[in-house]
């Protein structure tokens, strides 16, 4: 391992609007890095006009930063809400047009006479999550947003709608996974919560219009600054099978999921039910890299075999607790192996792959994720050229850490492509 360079002081300066400028704060999303991290990688390892890939793009932070810095970018993510958030985040829309549409939309919502129960989606345990009046108001908002002309403007208002759903539910808005907590119940009893969904939507639209105006202004600066306006595209949903040609990419940047640390599908299940993006939560969760789902017919015949010593030791420790847990962790690292092979294929000669990752726990066992991924990457044709660390900045990331301390380090691993991988690199 190279000696890490600590960026904590440099990155720790960025708070508030400095990390949510333009549309970076358009919608809440778990475990996203602040924009200054991909910006650091872009400025250090690419140049204007280069092609950048984020195979686990999440809400599109890398894509927006690439656009601002004059790089073309491509994003991949399996999460349907992530793709919608990213699409809105990277798509400039004339704010005057949005302002006009918002006035018409809000007037229609306010004048609606009700009777919109058909717009309420089927949500498991729906009455546990939403009050009757909230269901009616959300249905009214949804009806008028969904009746808008399809396109970029409608998608903007869909994101405005999505961003109020958790706040209007009975769930604690500060919980990572939807949960009706005793704290939230106490706030309700004290009358310190509001369930006026229509007023909340109106205020949210006004605030998001400011974000849209910021992106529009930046887009005009980008058009003037660069000879060729950069392109930002969402191209697929599988980081292990990306729809690009060999050697198409100059730089890859990502913050991958962790092994069963964040249930990415469950975090936004209420929003996805309302947006019509979720049909089968178990099926989608089973396809996510890092899923905690595993079935007996998968892990019962499986035996832990790997040439990565750190991974082998981890699997043996988990096997003592539960074979299923060991299999889940092995499957995660095998999926990441497949991602390294795919990114190796896509990178140009000596191209770099910047990966932001730390450590987490699973079944109360420390998982040295960054160290194991570094070993696997080197077996897949990469060389670890440099490593940076920084204090975790956004406490909402809420990834279970192994040492339970208040300040932890995350790592930026910088790999360089050296050779084609062998298929058996785990």
Structural domain spans, the chain: 5-80+226-417, 95-217
- What is the rounded distance in angstroms from the CA atom of residue 12 to the CA atom of residue 1? 24
pLDDT of residue 176: 84
pLDDT of residue 404: 45
- What is the rounded distance in angstroms from the CA atom of residue 168 to the CA atom of residue 181? 14
| CATH classification (class only), 5-80+226-417 | alpha beta
pLDDT of residue 186: 85
Along the chain (426 residues), what's the average pLDDT of each consecutive run of 10 residues? 92 89 94 93 98 97 98 97 98 98 98 95 96 97 98 98 96 87 82 89 98 98 96 96 96 92 86 96 91 93 93 96 95 96 96 93 90 95 96 57 55 96 75
- What is the rounded distance in angstroms from the CA atom of residue 299 to the CA atom of residue 301? 6
pLDDT of residue 205: 98
Contact between residue 262 and residue 31 where contact means Cβ atoms under 8 Å apart? yes
pTM of the model: 0.95
Contact between residue 415 and residue 352 where contact means Cβ atoms under 8 Å apart? yes
Residue 224: CB atoms within 10 A of its CB come to: 8
pLDDT of residue 393: 63
Contact between residue 272 and residue 76 where contact means Cβ atoms under 8 Å apart? no
């Amino acid at each position: 391992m190279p000696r890490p360079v600590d960026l904590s002081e440099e990155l720790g300066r960025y708070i508030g609007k400095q990390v949510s400028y333009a549309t970076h704060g358009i919608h809440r999303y778990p475990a996203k890095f602040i924009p200054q991290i991909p910006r650091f990688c872009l400025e250090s390892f690419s140049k204007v006009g280069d092609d950048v890939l984020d195979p686990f793009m999440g809400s599109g932070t890398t894509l927006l930063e690439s656009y601002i810095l004059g790089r073309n970018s491509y994003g991949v993510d399996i999460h349907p809400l992530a793709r919608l958030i990213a699409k809105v985040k990277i798509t400039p829309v004339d704010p005057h047009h949005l302002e006009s549409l918002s006035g018409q939309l809000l007037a229609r919502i306010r004048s609606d006479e009700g009777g919109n129960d058909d717009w309420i989606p089927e949500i498991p345990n729906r009455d546990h999550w939403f009050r009757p009046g909230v269901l009616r108001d959300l249905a009214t908002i949804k009806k008028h947003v969904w009746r808008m002309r399809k396109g970029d403007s409608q998608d903007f208002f869909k994101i405005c709608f999505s961003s109020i759903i958790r706040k209007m539910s009975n769930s604690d808005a500060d919980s990572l996974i939807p949960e009706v907590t005793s704290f939230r119940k106490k706030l309700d009893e004290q009358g310190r919560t509001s369930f006026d969904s229509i007023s909340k939507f109106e205020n949210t639209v006004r605030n998001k219009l400011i974000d849209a105006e910021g992106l529009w202004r930046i887009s005009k600066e980008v058009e003037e600054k660069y000879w060729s306006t950069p392109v930002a595209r969402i191209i697929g949903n599988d980081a292990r099978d990306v729809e690009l040609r060999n050697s198409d990419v100059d730089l890859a940047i990502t913050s991958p999921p962790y092994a069963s640390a964040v249930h990415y599908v469950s975090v936004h299940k209420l929003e996805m039910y309302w947006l019509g993006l979720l049909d089968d939560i178990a099926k989608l969760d089973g396809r996510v890299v890092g899923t905690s789902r595993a079935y007996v017919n998968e892990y019962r015949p499986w035996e832990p075999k790997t040439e990565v010593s750190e991974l082998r030791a981890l699997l043996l420790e988990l096997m003592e607790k539960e074979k299923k847990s060991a299999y889940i962790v092995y499957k995660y690292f095998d999926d990441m192996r497949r991602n390294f092979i795919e990114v190796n294929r896509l990178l140009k000669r000596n191209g770099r792959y910047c990966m932001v990752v730390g450590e987490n726990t699973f079944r109360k066992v420390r998982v040295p994720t960054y160290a194991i991924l570094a070993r696997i990457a080197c077996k897949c044709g990469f060389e670890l050229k440099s490593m940076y660390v920084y204090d975790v900045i956004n406490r909402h990331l809420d990834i279970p850490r192994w040492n339970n301390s208040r300040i932890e380090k995350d790592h930026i691993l910088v790999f360089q492509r050296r050779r084609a991988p062998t298929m058996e690199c785990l």
